[in-house]
Homo-oligomer: A and B are copies of this chain.
Amino acid sequence: MRIIQFSKSTSYALHALVRLARSEPGVNVGIKELSASLGIPESYLSKVMSKLRQDGLVRAVTGASGGYELARSPEKISFLDVIQVIEGRQHLYECFHTDAQRPSKPQCLIHQVMDGAEERLLQYLREHTIQWVLDRRKEHEPIV
C-alpha cells in the first residue's frame, strides 16, 4: 500500500534551508559545501535546490563563487512552504469516486473528516518556520 510519508527530498530541502539560514547573509553557499556538510548526494541535492529556486524559496548564482542563499528571511519560510514546493499541493485524501460521479458536488462525509484532518496538519506546518528552528537551536546542543 502507498507509503504515507514525506519524501527524502523534503528532508533534504528542510535541512538545506536551515543550513543556508545559518550562513552569513549575502554569502552564497555552493552545492559542494552544502552536500558535504549535510551528507547528501551532490547531484541529487542540486535537483532539489533547483526546485526551491524555481518556486522562489532560494536565490542561485551561477559561476565561480556562486551558490545559494535564502530568497527571503527565515521567519517567512514555513515548513508548509517547503513541503508544498517539494511534494506538490495534492490533498491528503481523494475519494475514489470523485470527478467521475460528482463534479464539485458536496463532499461525502468521509471526505469531510479527511479534509478536517488535513487542515490540522497544514495549520501546524504553517505556524512553524525555519526561524523557529534557528531559535531553538541556540538553546540546546546544536543538533542540526
Contact = CB atoms under 8 A, between A and B. Distances in A.
A80 B94 CA distance: 16
A54 to B, nearest CB: 13
Interface residues of A, number: 54
Interface string A84-96: 0011101111111
Contacts of A93: 5-6, 10-11
A58 interface: no
Contacts of A5: 2, 4, 90-94
A142 to B, nearest CB: 10
Interface string A124-144: 110010001100110010011
Contacts of A143: 105-109
Interface in A1-55: 1-12, 14-15, 18, 39-40
A125 B106 CA distance: 21
Interface of A: 1-12, 14-15, 18, 39-40, 79, 83, 86-88, 90-97, 105-110, 113-114, 116-118, 120-121, 123-125, 128, 132-133, 136-137, 140, 143-144
29 contacts: A2-B3, A2-B5, A2-B6, A2-B7, A3-B90, A4-B5, A4-B6, A4-B7, A4-B83, A5-B92, A8-B96, A10-B93, A11-B94, A11-B95, A11-B96, A15-B96, A15-B110, A39-B97, A79-B113, A106-B140, A107-B143, A108-B144, A109-B133, A109-B143, A109-B144, A113-B132, A113-B133, A116-B124, A120-B121
